[in-house]
């Protein structure tokens, strides 16, 4: 691989002259510049991306900032990343994933002032999110996947949680279900103001009230064990439940496992809908999950394109857009089981042990 020294030798100039041609930091005669560029072409020299950026003070690197834990990224979360990465690559930018959480504000401020990123996309947004103010204060171009409570002066794309929840509830009510339990994210996530958890809680209450039904929500840790505990709590609170609506992909298989443990067949005894879920995850279950399919790849792409418009100076206004999840009916939902006088369900399995 050719180096800057190779280019300098072939062009018969100093290494610093080659650097000046690359960065534009000093005037170079047109004849010398032409000779250096010809040497680069002959040697197929590929200048360092950071060196190329010195002239414009642009790195052509964009960041995707999202907190991560030991679970890493699932298929549904990965779709957001791949959508953003494809849009960045198509425009000649590199995407760097950085696990910056809501409590890492000092780390974020250092990152924002180091000049590594031309701009960032922020994920896992809370209703009150200190990362937004920190990035704005640093003057770093910013687009959110998610949204804060006050979106004035912000560009964002997000799931339309109100429409998504209403369509999921409508699907279950249309099948005759009246005793529906919603399994949300953890109590800690709700208390911290995690946007999806807060917005779906509100939307579920409104959707159920619109049908004259009582809303019951159970918080769940983001794990299979959390799902099993949440289903147990749901049955204790609503013994005659006939449907579970869940927005906790890490817990959904625990929910299904606990239903099987209790001999409640899906969907004959209990229907299950998983919200904000990828087809890959939905197809892993047996029966395959009826799901409100996440538009993750589209949201990642749209957010990155909005950020790139800012960076290229062609954005004329803030980009604010909501996309609903799309209902895909599979095998986990069916007509509501009949109830008998004592509140037990008729269906394929015996009552709870």
97 has which bridge partners? 64
Q: What integer pLDDT is reported at residue 349 of this predicted model?
A: 47
User: For 47-56, 188-197, 238-247, 331-340, which range has the lowest pLDDT when averaged over its residues?
Assistant: 47-56
Helix (H) or strand (E) holding 326: strand 326-328
Q: What integer pLDDT is reported at residue 23 of this predicted model?
A: 63
Instruction: Please tell me the distance from the alpha carbon of residue 136 to that of residue 146, in angstroms, as a whole number.
Output: 16
Closest CA to 264 of 291, 288, 292, 232: 232
Alpha helices in 24-160 (DSSP H): 30-43, 49-54, 75-90, 105-113, 130-137
Cα distances (Å, whole numbers) of residue 318 to 35, 151, 206, 310, 321: 45, 10, 29, 9, 10
Going by pLDDT thresholds of 50, 70 and 90, the confidence category of residue 350 is very low
Instruction: Please tell me the distance from the alpha carbon of residue 146 to that of residue 189, in angstroms, as a whole number.
Output: 15
Tell me the mean pLDDT in the region 67-93: 84
- CA torsion, ordered 191, 194, 200, 206, to nearest 10 deg: 50
Tell me the mean pLDDT in the region 5-31: 84
Domain with CATH 3.40.50.2300 in the chain: 61-159+296-324, 161-293
| Residues 313 and 238: beta-carbon distance below 8 Å | no
- Angle, nearest 10°, between helix axes 30-43 and 15-23? 100
Q: What integer pLDDT is reported at residue 67 of this predicted model?
A: 81
User: For 14-23, 127-136, 141-150, 330-339, which range has the lowest pLDDT when averaged over its residues?
Assistant: 14-23
Going by pLDDT thresholds of 50, 70 and 90, the confidence category of residue 66 is confident
Cα distances (Å, whole numbers) of residue 121 to 24, 118, 132, 145, 155: 30, 11, 10, 7, 10
Backbone angles phi, psi at 335, to 5 degrees: -60, 145
Instruction: Please tell me the distance from the alpha carbon of residue 102 to that of residue 72, in angstroms, as a whole number.
Output: 17
Domain with CATH 1.10.260.40 in the chain: 4-54
In the numeric block, which tokens belong to residue 250? 């890490």
Tell me the mean pLDDT in the region 275-279: 95
| Residues 292 and 274: beta-carbon distance below 8 Å | yes
The 10 Å CB-count burial string (b at 16+, else e) for 58-89 is ebbbbbbbbeeeeeeeebbbbbbbebbbebbe
Q: Could you report the per-residue pLDDT of 121-153, keeping only the tens digit for each? A: 999 999 999 999 999 998 999 999 999 999 999
CATH code for the part of the protein at 61-159+296-324 = 3.40.50.2300
Sequence-distant (6+) residues with CB within 8 A of 141 are: 118, 119, 120, 307, 310, 311
pTM of the model: 0.80
Superfamily of domain 4-54: lambda repressor-like DNA-binding domains (1.10.260.40)
User: For 56-65, 93-102, 123-132, 220-229, which range has the lowest pLDDT when averaged over its residues?
Assistant: 56-65
**H helix count then E strand count, the chain:** 14, 12
End-to-end CA distance of the chain: 70
- CA torsion, ordered 193, 197, 199, 203, to nearest 10 deg: -150
What integer best gives the mean pLDDT of the chain?
Answer: 89
- Protein fold of 161-293: Rossmann fold (3.40.50)
> What whole-number percentage of the chain has pLDDT above 90?
67
Q: Could you report the per-residue pLDDT of 162-186, keeping only the tens digit for each? A: 999 999 999 999 999 999 999 999 9
**Do the bridges between strand 271-277 and strand 290-293 make them parallel or antiparallel, or are there none, so unpaired?**
parallel
Going by pLDDT thresholds of 50, 70 and 90, the confidence category of residue 1 is confident
Q: What integer pLDDT is reported at residue 351 of this predicted model?
A: 44
Q: Could you report the per-residue pLDDT of 223-269, keeping only the tens digit for each? A: 999 999 999 999 999 999 999 999 999 999 999 999 999 999 999 99
Phi-psi region of 184 (alpha: psi -120 to 50; beta: other; left: phi over 0): beta
pLDDT at 20 over 90: no
């Amino acid at each position: 691989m050719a180096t800057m020294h190779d280019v300098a030798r072939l062009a018969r100039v100093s290494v610093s002259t080659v650097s000046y041609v690359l960065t534009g930091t000093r005037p170079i005669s047109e004849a010398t510049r032409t000779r250096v560029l010809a040497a680069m072409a002959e040697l197929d020299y590929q200048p360092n991306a950071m060196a190329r950026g010195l002239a414009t003070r642009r790195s052509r690197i964009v960041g995707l900032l999202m907190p991560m834990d030991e679970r890493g990224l699932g298929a549904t979360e990965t779709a957001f990343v791949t959508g953003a990465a494809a849009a960045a690559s198509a425009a000649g930018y590199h995407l760097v994933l950085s696990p910056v959480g809501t409590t890492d504000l000092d780390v974020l401020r250092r990152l924002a002032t180091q000049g590594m990123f031309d701009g960032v996309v922020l994920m896992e947004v809370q209703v009150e999110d200190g990362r937004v103010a920190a990035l704005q204060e640093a003057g770093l171009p910013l687009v959110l996947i998610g949204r804060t409570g006050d979106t004035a002066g912000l560009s964002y794309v997000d799931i339309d949680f109100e429409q998504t929840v209403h369509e999921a509830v409508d699907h279950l009510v249309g099948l005759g279900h009246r005793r529906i339990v919603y399994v949300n994210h953890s109590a800690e996530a709700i208390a911290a103001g995690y946007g999806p958890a807060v917005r779906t809680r509100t939307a579920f209450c409104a959707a159920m009230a619109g049908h004259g039904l009582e809303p019951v929500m159970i918080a769940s840790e983001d794990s299979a064990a959390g799902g099993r505990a949440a289903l147990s709590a749901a049955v204790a609170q609503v013994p005659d439940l006939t449907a579970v609506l869940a927005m906790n992909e890490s817990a959904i298989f625990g929910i299904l496992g606990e239903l099987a443990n209790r001999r409640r067949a899906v969907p004959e005894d209990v229907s299950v809908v998983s919200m904000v879920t990828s087809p890959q995850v939905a197809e892993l279950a047996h029966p395959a999950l009826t799901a409100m399919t996440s538009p993750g790849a589209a949201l990642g792409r749209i957010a990155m394109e909005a950020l790139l418009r800012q960076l290229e100076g062609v954005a004329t206004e803030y980009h604010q857009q909501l996309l609903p999840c799309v209902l895909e009916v599979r095998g986990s939902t069916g007509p509501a089981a009949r109830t008998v006088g004592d509140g037990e369900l008729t269906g394929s399995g015996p009552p709870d042990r």
